[in-house]
Amino acid sequence: MMPVEEITLTARFKVDLTDVDEAAISEIRHLFAEYRRIVNELIEHAHSHRTTSFISLHHAKYRELRQRYPTLPSHYIFTACRHAASIYKSFIELKKLGMCEREKPIFKGRAIWLDSTLFKLDIEGWRVSIIVHGGRWVTLRLLHGKYHDRFRGMRLGEAWLVLRDDGSLYLNVVFRQTIVLPEVGADAKVIAVDVNENVIVYGNDDFIERFETNEGIIRTRYFLKRRRIQSKIRDKELRRKLLGKYKGRERHRVREIYYRAAKEIISKAREVGATVIVMEDLRHLNRKDKDSKELNGRIHRWSYRRFQQILEYQAKLHGLNVKYVDPRNTSSLCPICGSELEESSNGCRIRRCQRCGLEEDRDVIAVRNLTRRYYERYTDAKTTKTSFDRRRQIDVGSPRSPRKPPNEKREEGLKSPERHVIVFGGCGSLLIMLFIESGHSSKSNPCLARNPAAHLLIPWPTHPVQISRPLASFILKFFT
């Protein structure tokens, strides 16, 4: 069965306010003020009761807010509860990581969360109707382009109404689309992507390609420009405008590079017939501060997760699977023998393996390690679906029972006892080998006589242990 996945895409529309009367605009502005006041009140309640549950917040404040705002449609209070719960939950997570110094969060943005009952979108006529106080509907015209034509036919989700500082109004609409992806198998061809600060390296064991982004250089230049603006310009309003101007330029410039890189990687994947794109799981890269203040700044300015999100949804739109693997030591371990690499004398980015002699660029090594880890992970997932796997057995001795008379007694010191091995193992567990002397006869211990080299696969999370002969005999009786 082909895997099916649902992706979400957000379309941003600018609202044309030229043909909207002043009464409707003032009504919308009043709606923004009330919504922000409600969200902050809900955050205050969540903070005082230490709850991040939307259900608890809804049960505690919904009726009270409905009585205080009788003309406000009820679903605005519903979405405000969801909004406040999500804000406070994110605040608690950041507080645990030591990334927030405030006692409680404050919602200062001018954005309204709209569910499917609060707006109606006419994508053919490019108009949106939003319900306001008293159940009245305000119809607004949306400015659109060729980019928005791709959303025709997609399922409509929720939306955000955003009011910017310059007075412009935007509508961010979420669309959903169901994608059928190809099956992932052990023989699937993959392309591994290693994201770096100034270069993106992708490929597999057959080829390696590089895409120069120079993102670190771009980020540093804009960072220094912002510092000069903050130190030299005294007028607060002019400083704010200039900072916003260069912030937008930086964001648009980097985003355009990301889309070009994603397009090139996807084109190469379709050219070579790859069905899986493998990337590093970098979600927790910047949660812990490094020793260097400069390195901390570079990592926090580097939007690596943004590129991964762009590549992921673009790849799924083109029918490619996206998988994430552990990023630890991808550039410091040999992809051939697994040994630790050392810095080569041929350059700071060249790594050399003392064991097998491999000498390669660290980015190329990372791509090969990502490819290998994907196949190892997929193989492990396949082999651990069953509790008994013949490939994990260890052949020890002969499967035939020992031939000796039933009443024969072993003389001490004349003959070394035969040993039978029970192998305890499993996915991620240690192999525990218990050597059991088979000095018993088949009558006293028929299990040993019937199966002297028993192989059992039992998950065992601890270190090797020693057990007595009666206990070993009992284990054999129970599992054989």
**Cα–Cα distance list, 255 to 242, 314, 316, 327 (Å):** 20, 14, 19, 24
Instruction: Say if residues 316 and 179 touch (Cβ distance below 8 Å).
Output: yes
**What are the residues facing 420 on neighbouring strands?**
436
Q: Are 12 and 122 contained in the same domain? A: yes
Q: Are 365 and 258 contained in the same domain? A: yes
DSSP-derived 3-state class of residue 192: strand
Q: Are 99 and 147 contained in the same domain? A: yes
Q: Are 49 and 138 contained in the same domain? A: yes
Query: Residue 314 contacts by C-beta under 8 Å, 6 or more apart in sequence?
Result: 259, 262, 263, 266
Q: Are 392 and 371 contained in the same domain? A: no
Last residue of a domain, one of 180, 210, 242: 180
Per-residue model confidence (pLDDT) at position 354: 82
Q: Are 243 and 370 contained in the same domain? A: yes
Residue 406 inside a domain? The answer is no
Last residue of a domain, one of 130, 145, 180: 180
Per-residue model confidence (pLDDT) at position 288: 59
**What are the residues facing 113 on neighbouring strands?**
160
Residue 157 inside a domain? The answer is yes
**DSSP for residue 340:** B
Query: Residue 257 contacts by C-beta under 8 Å, 6 or more apart in sequence?
Result: 213, 215
Write 311-315 long-range contacts (CB < 8 A, 24+).
311/193, 311/258, 311/261, 311/262, 311/265, 311/266, 311/277, 311/279, 312/277, 312/279, 313/7, 313/9, 314/259, 314/262, 314/263, 314/266, 315/262, 315/265, 315/266, 315/269, 315/277
- Residue 393's identity, in one-letter code, is Q
Per-residue model confidence (pLDDT) at position 283: 79
Per-residue model confidence (pLDDT) at position 331: 85
CATH of the domain at 360: 3.30.420
Residue 407 inside a domain? The answer is no
Instruction: Say if residues 140 and 16 touch (Cβ distance below 8 Å).
Output: yes
φ, ψ (nearest 5 deg) of residue 414: -90, -35
Residue 278: name the closest of 183, 364, 147, 367 by CA.
367
Residue 298: name the closest of 366, 231, 217 by CA.
217
Residue 146 inside a domain? The answer is yes
Instruction: Say if residues 365 and 331 touch (Cβ distance below 8 Å).
Output: yes
Q: Are 114 and 236 contained in the same domain? A: no
DSSP-derived 3-state class of residue 358: coil
Residue 21 inside a domain? The answer is yes
Residue 185 inside a domain? The answer is no
Distance of CA 308 to the CA centre of its chain: 9
Whole-angstrom distance between the N-terminal and C-terminal Cα of the chain?
Answer: 37
**C-alpha to C-alpha distance for 11 and 22, rounded to whole angstroms:** 27
φ, ψ (nearest 5 deg) of residue 287: -80, -25
Handedness of CA 317, 318, 320, 326 (dihedral sign): negative
Q: Are 115 and 166 contained in the same domain? A: yes
Residue 173 inside a domain? The answer is yes
What six digits make up the tokens of 237? Answer: 């309003």
If one counts the domains in the chain, the total is 3
Residue with token string 């709850």 = 51
Q: Are 124 and 209 contained in the same domain? A: no
Give the start-end residues of each E strand in 81-147. Answer: 111-114, 119-122, 127-131, 137-143
Q: Are 226 and 161 contained in the same domain? A: no
Which domain, by its residues, includes 114?
Answer: 4-180
Q: Are 103 and 16 contained in the same domain? A: yes
The packing angle between helices 22-49 and 54-68, to 10°, is: 130
**C-alpha to C-alpha distance for 141 and 128, rounded to whole angstroms:** 6
Residue 408 inside a domain? The answer is no
DSSP-derived 3-state class of residue 117: coil
Cβ atoms within 10 Å, residue 228 = 10
Last residue of a domain, one of 180, 198, 222: 180
Per-residue pLDDT of the chain (480 residues; tens, 9 = 90+): 677 888 899 999 999 998 888 899 999 999 999 999 999 999 999 999 999 999 999 999 999 999 999 999 999 999 999 999 999 999 999 888 777 888 899 999 899 999 999 999 999 999 999 999 999 999 999 999 998 998 988 999 999 999 998 889 999 999 999 888 888 877 789 999 999 989 999 999 889 999 999 999 999 999 999 999 999 998 989 999 999 899 999 999 999 999 999 999 999 999 999 999 999 988 777 665 566 777 778 878 888 889 999 999 999 999 999 999 988 888 888 888 888 887 776 667 788 888 887 888 888 899 999 999 988 887 665 444 333 333 333 333 333 444 444 444 444 444 444 444 444 443 333 333 444 433 433 333 333 333 333 333 333 333 444 555 566 666 655 555
Instruction: Give the largest Cα separation in the chain, rounded.
Output: 109
Q: Are 379 and 445 contained in the same domain? A: no
